[in-house]
Structure 1
């Protein structure tokens, strides 16, 4: 049987678990540690299974092995949910630190290709970048024979979304995020106007004085603030009539009405591949550029598989 001895140091909250039967611990399958880490965070067998892309019975079987190793239930039923035992509460931060340290040790001198650490990645981005990146990631995954799963989610405009352990990476236009987040610029994109192919403005001069007479739709990002500032500087009242959560709804609005849209050039590249009934043009004044970024929470900064995702997605987007 494994005996536990808690030794409390000068810091009252710091508890080190010492195992008298060290041979029993050494025989523990280290593959169980990431499962335990996820279980302690999710406090749910089904959510852990979903996150790790395995079946709930497989997680239950692993949990029984973990309980046997630690001689503790670790998670106990409380009504409709699972709660951590006192030992599990103490283990949780230590286990997270241990896994981070293992990652660092393993990858100081070894360049990983990402396939050795299969994960399910949750990526937040906009609709155009999603269509541009998703098939390329799939092709790359097949090419490298990885077991990664890529789950794409729409940007919900939350500044704190990366604090959630459900989100691994944000890829998109510059936006306000929580202060601890890591940010990397992966490119810039010029902006242009778009209009439906038979729009009368296409035959007119492209001055702000002319363009301001038409309804304008922009995306929900810093571009909206910059365009409003531009109107004010030229002495015009606000002319932004719509703010779209995504580019495809904006484009549909432009096609169905006489409104104009402002989009980055990377959006135009996507539209041309789709053969949509829109034209783009540059105005006779300077539009702001958009910065394209990757953003992630510091807890993933030294994770090798996450580094692989960041580097691969940056290269595939080709900004």
Structure 2
């Protein structure tokens, strides 16, 4: 692309397609007609000699070339907008609606604290928690079905180039059992008794084996896993109402109130730490709204270094 012959207005269309992931929404954002945006996309494709965006369901996904272009262009557009725009994002007047993909464990920590902050800083903003699919939440972000995800990442899968992240906190694995459980009488559970006990665990959508079992298998061990549920809240209730025990994430910093009638004990074998991260699509790097919420989430949940 030659700078002298380039139509820089096309970059605004490129930005809108990256951030909206849909031609109709991009046109609405730019106050243009859909044919005008489609024509601009055709010119962008000719300029860069690449399709740039390909159809995916009801929207469009960026090609590898578009993703490579976006990082430097988004930074430049953000700098230009910061220089020229008089208006800034006004949280107090914002009526934006944002969604965050997360498990019920993460949601129980994030939503109460975030809602309390937003009630004063952005009282008309809406936040929606949607289920986290764990192994392919990056596709949820790519398809614009969520603005953020808060989760651990399956490191067996390479992170896509568009995925941006910041580490938040690292929970521990603890053994949870009802206070009257026979194994709750001691300070520690011997490994042999731990493996033989009847276990329940959480298996989120898209993951067939709980994380702690993967760790045990790497050590040549297997526990007596007799039940799995798809919500952490359900696991706590199973443990509270039976003699099943569970290995669940726990963070002292964000201790929830749901442990009444339960006892936390150290696991006989400590698994490698898991890091819960905040994820977003790089298309939102130029969005003042997304930057504002991202900074609030980091202020609330980023673990001090």
Question: What TM-score do you get using the length of structure 2 for normalisation?
Answer: 0.67
Question: Any runs of at least 4 consecutive aligned residues in structure 1 with deviations exceeding 6 A, and if so which?
Answer: 91-94, 96-100
Q: What is the alpha-carbon distance in structure 2 between the residues aligned to residue 173 and residue 88 of structure 1?
A: 36
Aligned to 2:147: 168
1:91-240 paired onto structure 2 within 5 Å: 101-107=76-82, 115=91, 118=94, 119-145=96-122, 147-159=124-136, 160-176=139-155, 178-180=159-161, 181-204=163-186, 205-220=188-203, 224-230=210-216, 233=219, 235-240=220-225
In the TM superposition, residue 156 of structure 1 has moved relative to its aligned partner by 1.9
Q: What is the alpha-carbon distance in structure 1 between the residues aligned to residue 76 and residue 258 of structure 2?
A: 46
What do the CA deviations read for 1:116-156 (whole angstroms, capped 9, x no partner)?
89432211112132132223222322322465321211212
Unaligned runs of 5+ in 2: 46-51, 53-65
Aligned to 1:295: 279
Which is further off, 173-182 or 200-209? 173-182
Aligned to 1:257: 242
Aligned to 1:24: none
Residues 141 and 148 in structure 2, CA contact (< 8 A), matched pair in contact too? yes
In the TM superposition, residue 158 of structure 1 has moved relative to its aligned partner by 3.9
Residues 100 and 303 in structure 1, CA contact (< 8 A), matched pair in contact too? no
Q: Which has the higher contact order (CA 8 A, sep 6+)?
A: 2
SS at structure 2 position matched to 1:212:
helix
Aligned pair count reads: 266
In the TM superposition, residue 298 of structure 1 has moved relative to its aligned partner by 1.7
Cα pair distance change 1:217/1:268, threshold 3 Å: farther
Question: What TM-score do you get using the length of structure 1 for normalisation?
Answer: 0.65
Residues 125 and 153 in structure 1, CA contact (< 8 A), matched pair in contact too? yes
Which structure is larger by alpha-carbon Rg, 1 or 2?
1
Unaligned runs of 5+ in 1: 1-8, 20-31, 52-58, 68-72, 77-83
Residues 207 and 285 in structure 1, CA contact (< 8 A), matched pair in contact too? no
